[in-house]
Amino acid sequence: MINKDAPLIELRNISKSYGETKVLQNVNLTINENEFVTLLGPSGCGKTTTLRILGGFESPTSGEVFFEGKDISTIPPYERSTNTVFQSYALFPHLDVYDNIAFGLRLEKIEPRKYPNVELTPKEKVRKFFKKTTSRYTEYEIKKKVDAVIKLVNLTGMEHRNVANLSGGQRQRVAIARAIVLRPKILLLDESLSALDLKLRKDMQYELKELQRSTGITFVFVTHDQEEALTMSDKIVVMKDGYIEQVGSAEEIYNEPINRYVANFIGDSNILSGKVIDSRHVEFDGEKFLMEETKFPEGAEVDVMMRPEDLDIVYPSKGKLTGTVDSIFFKGVFYEVDVILDNKRIVTIHTTDYIPVGKKVGINFDTEDITLMEIMK
């Protein structure tokens, strides 16, 4: 019985091992309807395995997957309300754009037959599954659905073009169209922008987010690219070594990272060791600084983060910290300036002003620019 009040997807205590290798360890995650959720982390962190468990391509070693309150942990991929866009797109080279997109709809003419698992080999199961019974859509209905989704992904006029002659971005649109034409509740995307060049990749980030909004389908996207995650996501899941480190909105993950790992993975950071003096003061670099109220207890050892764009270069007499410019690099919309403080520590600042190497400067910041994080064990 489906519970419409339940989250769309719940992962409960999911662990996955391959022999002695632990890939996921006690992963718990809630995904709601019409969300764009990004699984973010470096290679080997477990994000793709999590996606494959959601799609039914992998079974968890322990734990359960719930869809609208129903346990689907043992349900095969073709019986789930999901569809997947793979990194390679997996288009059929012998079919044109139209027929690639229509392929899944034509398969829906086929209804699986019941069979006892113990009596059939895997090949026999496939033959049984693809045996025609009743027709679900007419070719007229298929054309209406395909034409609508072709327009949605901006492929109008390319219906009969060979997919081998398409650009990377066009092939990706075909793969997405083929997936969403079936109207799944959840679309799974595994590093699906990684093969594109930088400019097209940026353009597709906005297109994907707009597509998710317009279709109302929940997107679960896997990437190691922080910019993709920040640009598109309603919810970011930062992963490390098979664990979830933090879950939150793009703003929460960027402005309030839980620890050094998340802070360094999402954007550039200046991180140093500090100690909480009281609820409004922290000590670092041997000095006491005012900050916004913290929940860390008095005397707690913490990591202190300040984003480079939140720091201002001022005259030495007006700075809370002072130092000498060590290097400066032009980044297009800002300069990245490294300053060696008087205590020999290096601080990075992003500024639109050119500051010559060797100049003595002050560094200023506001109370809200100080973020305290728990020290990683």
Q: CATH number of the domain at 314, please.
A: 2.40.50.140
Same domain, 26 and 85: yes
pLDDT at position 258 = 95
Residue 88, pLDDT > 80, answer no
Written as one letter, the residue type at 74 is: T
pLDDT at position 108 = 66
Phi and psi of 132, rounded to 5°? -70, 140
Average pLDDT, the chain: 88
Same domain, 294 and 248: no
Q: For residue range 254-288, what is the model confidence (pLDDT) as tens digits? A: 999 999 999 999 989 999 999 999 999 999 988 99
Average pLDDT over residues 214-222: 92
Q: Does the residue 366 lie in any domain?
A: yes
Average pLDDT over residues 342-357: 95
pLDDT at position 245 = 96
Q: Does the residue 264 lie in any domain?
A: no
Same domain, 286 and 159: no
Same domain, 83 and 154: yes
Same domain, 241 and 345: no
Q: Does the residue 333 lie in any domain?
A: yes
The span from the CA of 198 to the CA of 212, in Å, is 21
Q: For residue range 316-340, what is the model confidence (pLDDT) as tens digits? A: 999 999 999 999 999 999 999 999 9
Residue 186, pLDDT > 50, answer yes
pLDDT at position 306 = 96
Average pLDDT over residues 6-19: 94
Calculate what percentage of the chain has a pLDDT beyond 90: 64
Residue 253, pLDDT > 60, answer yes
pLDDT at position 55 = 94
Average pLDDT over residues 36-44: 94
Q: Does the residue 2 lie in any domain?
A: no
Indicate the number of domains in the chain.
Answer: 2
Confidence of residue 135 (pLDDT cuts 50, 70, 90): low
Same domain, 121 and 19: yes
Same domain, 282 and 138: no
- Could you tell me which residues are beta bridge partners of residue 44? none
Confidence of residue 132 (pLDDT cuts 50, 70, 90): very low
Same domain, 172 and 234: yes
CATH of the domain at 232: 3.40.50.300
Q: Does the residue 73 lie in any domain?
A: yes
Q: Does the residue 246 lie in any domain?
A: yes
Q: Which of 255, 278, 312 is the last residue of a domain?
A: 255
Same domain, 284 and 156: no
Contact (CB, 8 A) for 259 and 303: yes
Name the token pair of 237: 């899941």
Same domain, 155 and 208: yes
Phi and psi of 3, rounded to 5°? -100, 105
Q: Which of 200, 225, 255 is the last residue of a domain?
A: 255
Same domain, 177 and 295: no
Q: Which of 196, 225, 255 is the last residue of a domain?
A: 255
pLDDT at position 119 = 54
Q: Does the residue 232 lie in any domain?
A: yes
Confidence of residue 109 (pLDDT cuts 50, 70, 90): low
SS3 letters across the chain: CCCCCCCCEEEEEEEEEECCEEEEEEEEEEECCCCEEEEECCCCCCHHHHHHHHHCCCCCCEEEEEECCEECCCCCHHHCCEEEECCCCCCCCCCEHHHHHHHHHHHCCCCCCCCCHHHCCHHHHHHHHCCCCCCCCCHHHHHHHHHHHHHHCCCCCCCCCEHHHCCHHHHHHHHHHHHHCCCCCEEEEECCCCCCCHHHHHHHHHHHHHHHHHHCCEEEEEECCHHHHHHHCCEEEEEECCEEEEEECHHHHHHCCCCHHHHHHCCCCEEEEEEEEECCEEEECCEEEECCCCCCCCCCEEEEEECHHHCEEECHHHCCEEEEEEEEEECCCCEEEEEEECCCCEEEEEECCCCCCCCEEEEECCHHHCEEECCCC
Residue 362, pLDDT > 80, answer yes
pLDDT at position 75 = 93
For the purposes of burial, counting CB atoms within 10 Å of the CB of 12, is it exposed (0-12), middle (13-18) or buried (19 or more)?
A: middle
pLDDT at position 125 = 54
Same domain, 130 and 273: no
Q: Does the residue 309 lie in any domain?
A: yes
What residue numbers bound the domain in which 324 lies?
269-373
